[in-house]
Structure 1
Amino acid sequence: MTVTNILFIILAAIIALVLVLVQYYFTKKNKRSKHWILFSALRFITYFSVFLLLINPKFTNTSYTLEKPSLAIAVDNSSSINYLGEKGEVLNLLNQLQQDEELTEAFSIETYSFGTNFTNADSLSFSEPQSNLHQAFSNLQQLYKNKTAPVVFISDGNQTYGQDFTYSAQQLKQPIFPVVVGDTTQYEDLKIGQLNANRYAFLNNKFPVEVFVNYSGNSAISRRFEIKQANQTLYSETISFSSNKTSAVIHATLPTNSVGVKTYSVAIQPLENEKNIENNTKNFAVEVIDEKTNVLLLSSILHPDLGAFKKSIEHNQQRAATIKNIEDDIDFGEYQLVVLYQPDENFARAYEQIERLGLNTLTVTGTKTNYQFLNRNQQVFTKQTTNQEEDYLAAYNENYSSFQFEDIGFDDFPPLKDKFGDLSFSTEVNPLLFQSIAGYDTETPLLATLEKGSKRHGFLFGENAWQWRAKSFLEEESFNTYDEFFGKLIQYLASNKRRERLRLDYNSFYNSGEDIVLQAQYFDKNYEFDTRGKLNLTVKNKETDASQIFPFLLRNNQYEVDLSNLPAGDYTFTAKVEGEQLSKSGSFTIVDFEVEKQFLNANLSAFQQLSDQIYFPNQFEEIKQQLLQSPEFKPIQKSKQEVSPLIDWVYLLAIIVFCLSSEWFLRKYYGLI
């Protein structure tokens, strides 16, 4: 309280006393009362309290607290702790740290576990399939950003995914006490390191596999390397290692003879008395798919365009083109796309089969085309022709949107030849190229596509496209540019994707230990995403026939189901929507591969980058003494000042009310009012 406030309070007391004397002593009526002293005392308290409220002095209260530093204990909860046989040692050290009286008195102890995720350590199972040490250090940095909190980090130092944890540990502005779990002795060891293979391969083709094999040791050895599918050896070779050659890279190509998910085993022959042989084998899977597109080139005449089309189509090895005469016996069901080259009256049966099977088509017209027949057998366009022929140059349409392609020099290509006449469309088509006649660009399509429901159709109005391919070769010294353009057109026309109300997104195979999440999208009859659906997934193990039902959960505008707890094996599944006749089936394989079993030793070298002092689980006393003796970990005394104005003191108002009420009651009682 300031001196000014003290003077004001003294002055207030004097003024209050003067007012009371004027009212109760110098007034004859009050002076005659034998109780005037009691009344004046109550009135004095009232006046003085009111003056105090007007002055409103402030009072400062200082409180002191002792803040202990935090002690963060981060424990590796991954299954590698179990595999290394260190579970008991870790639990014993954790129990000592948590229950030591001196540590609990000096620190606020907080325990966390990490593996796949970073959480509070309510319990430890040492069963998590992955280790993300980077995430652990990043979370500790966020939690103790502005605090004093030494970190006891208990782990084997073997990280299976995430960024380099030694870098994130350097960002942690807290002292780290690394506790190394596991054997630090270096043994001779052979292991399969990184394995690279495509997730998909095409039927009757070969796919590459790249395998890195690592050796830890000083002896000169030779061991057999094999790649197997079931009991069949697909590739093998003998690899030599020494102290100077500690790694080898194997490149192999494997055949694909049947469709489906194929599981393979990669193995290196173990050493004598090798301590860890789990990392000598690694499994992987490849889905073999048959995506070969069969294209029928149908014509009643011979023309070099047919050979050029076939070459361009088969530029992609996943496409096959067959040239057939209209008189041949043809099974239209074998083809995904039919190229109708210069149709005439002999094509009547072909159009019937195409309509019946719902096939996609590419219609190519020319000087031998029977337009009267063509006008009757399709409803997209009509052309009124004369006996005159016309040359049509190509003009590139940069606004074409159905698929992406570049201008490969269409303006310089030779003209296509077709019958002269007006071309009109009864439905809207999407032009890739426009007709240019005598240097004048028209808005009439030369090459166009049409998508109607689930069907796709293309139209090329002119023959001699083989000259385009030849011109492209002269310019580029390769057919690739033109063939890639024509291949994109064929790919688009051969696709036949239908809109589905229930869609599933999943992989054909997963590695055990990784996240296995199937996603689904469910649409109402207007093809709008429906959040009200109830979707269930029935999963069946092919080997045991055991079935489980999992409900889908709605997350971020899609339905998800987590199957990460399923054991390795082959599975079939069916997704169903309750109350709807909608279902979707499929299959996947979980490959048996536990990454946490791949480690033989603790990663001592990584821990040595975190701190100058490394500890082991049996060194509790050393850790304890270091924590207690470090001066930066002493408790901090903090003071807190609270400034309270008198006007906030409600008791003063109560005193004023009490004094006024008492004075009025007493005066009433003695008949002075």
Structure 2
Amino acid sequence: MPELDLSLALPLFMPLLAAIIAAALSFAAYRSPVPPVSTPWRVILGVLRWSALMLVFLLIGEPLLSVVHRTHQPPGVAVLVDNSRSMTLTDGAGSRADAERRVLASTELRAVAGGASAFWLLFDNRVRDIGTWSADSLTLTGDRTDIAGAFRALRERSSADNVRAVILVTDGNATTPENPVYDAEALAVPVFTVGVGDTAEQRDLAVRSVTTNAVAYAGTRVPVNVIVHSSGYGGERVEVTLDHRGRPADRATISVDAGTREYRVTLFMAPDSAGVHRSTVSVSRLEGEVTHKNNTSVVFTRVLSGKLKILLVAGSPGQDLAFLRHSLEADPNFDVTTRVQMPDGFREGHLTPELFTSSDCVILTGFPTAMTKDADLQMLLREDVQRKPFFVLLGRTVDHERLRRLNPLLPFIVESVLPNELQVFMSVPETRRMHPVVRFRSAGEMDDWSSLPPVFRLQGNFRSKPESDVLGVVRLQTATLNEPLLVVRRIAGRKSAAFLGYGIWRWKMLAPLDGTAAQRADEFLGNAIRWLTSIEDERRIR
């Protein structure tokens, strides 16, 4: 049965006092009415007036009727079981598979899980809910050990299932870039880990990760970045090879140093036709390795027959426009069309709906301005144009009232803007550093954002939309503010990104020449366009 509770925003004595006053007023009004009425009618009219007065008073007192339904849900314990191929290894402690099965069949684990509602989940490169545990549920065939992904999947159901504790059974060898510590902390429940296997580092040589462009173009040279992990060896020379569609494409030789090390190798392939291409990266086998199963890794690339068509629309000539145009035209994968707004129209041709609909990505820099015509804004709001990916970069001359009219395209909301100009740095939150837009491929990526020169931003209040992700926030000197600077959005199959500042040419021209910082502006721009134009369903297959 629901519980009902009526409360007022007034002290208890006030309704009682109001009832007395309302009764006195009603009695005075109908004690000697003119014209005279009978006693029964005076009583009825007096009660009605009293009721009306009390109703008005109660409404002034903001009555609140609460209906409370109480349900009892027992606490839940989630048991995350590692189902990856690394659990098939045999190390100094024996077979990991046998050890894991003994742990899962132990009376201690059954006693802990039996005292609450137990949820059994297998994880490798994905997470599966198996309901109740059985010995044949464990296949140990997963390609990766994604502990962070298991925690994220559990977080989505933790509140509904009242998960109050997590038991993690794994060898702890996470093979994905994400750090599972942050996702474990986000659960806000105790995590008890049962380690399986020998804690000593094993003699092994492995292809730890392979990254390449999700989208490439036929006839272009595509880099493949490889990380090779070694432990327990020293002085050996090993070969890293890249096979593209079953044929040798590239190779490199590295010297393995003593201890536990990681080596970054860049290989290249040149796809010659359109389609989904399969590439295999392998590293030489050494005697005494704990396993040879991790000496090979496979990566898929979607190869297109043509170049990406980029439409670059600028509100006025400027340094950001010059940088964007130079960087885009230097990439052989992009076919760039530019339109620059001038007082008498657009330079290099008219701005037409066909330009937008035939483009793969639209970049607006410093646009719209006070000179922008209403017809041009309406063109951007056409349904077929809104389906295109948009990358918006603000500028000093942007007309924010006109920008608000483009709200359906934007991943942010303009609330207020002041003419004051600030020099700010961009800080990437720890939880967003693995996003493909802000993640750099080469070494030192975690510190590169803080080493870039400052850019400009108008003082004001920009708010990200609920469905957007904030990849970069404002940093003033050493103070990091909770104000968005780089925002991306993906909703209903449409993508957009926005940089809420200007002067990104400074990242290129003012960065130190003796490091990789000067390359970051070009890489960031390429990352943003490739993320905007990538097809999400095919990225999942990759």
**TM-score normalised according to structure 1 size:** 0.32
**TM-score normalised according to structure 2 size:** 0.39
